[in-house]
Amino acid sequence: MDAILRRHGLVSPRTRTHKSPAPRSALINPVERNNSIMWIYLNDTFVPQAEAVVSVFDHGFLYGDGVFETLRAYRGRVFLLADHLARLERSAARIQLYLPVGIERLADLLRESLIRNQLQDAYLRITVSRGTGDIGLDPALCTTPTLVIIAKPFQPYPESFYANGVAVMIAKTRRNLPEALPPQVKSLNFLNNILAKMEATAAGAHEALMLNHRGDVAEGTTTNVFTVHDGRLRTPSADCGILEGVTRGFVLQLASELGIPADGTRLSVEDLLRAEECFLTNTTQEVLPVTQVDGHMIGDGRPGRITRRLHASFRAYLAGV
C-alpha cells in the first residue's frame, strides 16, 4: 500500500501490501453485423452506416464541442431512459447548446433505431454537436446542431468479470479541475479520460481510477466507483469532481431499498485500498466487482457480499421490467 500511495504523491501510515498479479482484462471486441445494414439517425433521417458522415467543419470534430449520452436497451426497452435524456438536456444547457429535437422526440427516435436495426439487447448513443460552421471557437459560427443516434448489438462482458472481479489501476492523469470543465457536462471532449484509459491499457488493467486535484478518488474513465467499509457503501460525492452516473444513482436507490446505508463522501486512496469491497458502475457494466487495485488485493480478493447482493438486485429489477 505504501508504494501505491508514494507513487501518487500521497502519504499513509506504514502498512503491509498484499502482492498478487493483476489479471489482464479480456478485450471486448466490437460486434460485427454480417450481411446486414446498420441504420444511423443523422440530423433528420435514418441513413445506412456507410452514408452516416458529418462535415470536416463540424465543431464536434474540430473542437469536441458537444455532448453525448450512452444508453442500454434490454429486451427492446431502453433502461432508465428518462434519466439519461434529462442528463443530456442538462449537459447541453450547461454549454448553451440547444437540442435540435425535444426529449419526447429523442425517445421516439431511440425506439425507432431499435426497430430499424432489429435489436433487443443494444448499445445506444446520442451525440449532439454544436454543428457545422467556419473555423473558430465562437459557438455563434454554428447555426444548427448535428444530431446522431447509433444503435448496435450489445455484447455482454464475460460473466467471469462478475464472478471473479477485475483489476484496476490508479492513473497518474488527474481529473480535470471542476472550475476548468464542469464534470456535470458529459462532453465530447473526452481527452482527459482517454489519457487515463491509455494508462490502464498499458498496465493491463480493466479500468483506470482518476484522482482529483486534492488527491482523492474521483471516478473511472467511464465509471463511478463504490467501496464498502463496515457494511456501509461509500462513493465519491458530486463535489469530488465526478460525473454523477445514471447507474450510480440507480444503485444508490437499490441500496436504500435493501437497507444498505450509503454515503456520498471524499474517498482517499488509502480508504480505497483498505476497503472490504469495491465495485464500478456504468450503463454497460452494471455493477462490476473490483478485486485488485494496482496489484493490491481488495478484501479477500473475491467479489464481496454487498457487491453481489446489489448486482443480483439490479438484474432482478431488469427481469421484472
Which sign, positive or negative, has the C-alpha torsion 116, 117, 119, 124?
negative
pLDDT digits (tens, 9 = 90+) for 153-173: 999 999 999 999 999 999 999
- Is residue 172 part of the annotated active site? The answer reads no
What's residue 15's pLDDT?
38
Q: Report the pLDDT value the prediction gives residue 3, as an integer from 0 to 100.
A: 59
Question: What is the chain's Cα-based Rg?
Answer: 20
Alpha carbons 214 and 174: distance in angstroms, whole number: 10
Report H helices in 165-225.
191-203
Give the global pTM. Answer: 0.88
Written as nine digits, the cell of 300 is 479477500
Intervals of the chain under pLDDT 70: 1-35
Helix ranges restricted to H, 117-226: 159-164, 191-203
DSSP 217: E
Which residues make Cβ contacts (< 8 Å) with residue 286, sequence separation at least 6?
247, 311, 314, 315
The one catalytic residue among 152, 172, 186, 197: 186
**What is the CATH topology of the domain spanning 158-320?**
D-amino Acid Aminotransferase; Chain A, domain 2 (3.20.10)
pLDDT given for residue 36 in this prediction? 81
Beta strands in the chain (DSSP E): 39-42, 45-48, 66-74, 77-78, 122-129, 146-153, 166-170, 207-211, 217-220, 224-229, 232-236, 262-265, 277-282, 286-293, 296-297
Which residue ranges make up each domain of the chain? 39-153, 158-320
What is the fold, at CATH topology level, of the domain defined by 39-153?
A: D-amino Acid Aminotransferase; Chain A, domain 1 (3.30.470)
The whole-number pLDDT of residue 282 equals 98
Asked if residues 168 and 200 have their Cβ atoms less than 8 Å apart, the reply is yes
Q: Are 124 and 149 in contact (CB under 8 A)?
A: yes
Q: Would you say the CATH fold of 158-320 matches that of 39-153?
A: no
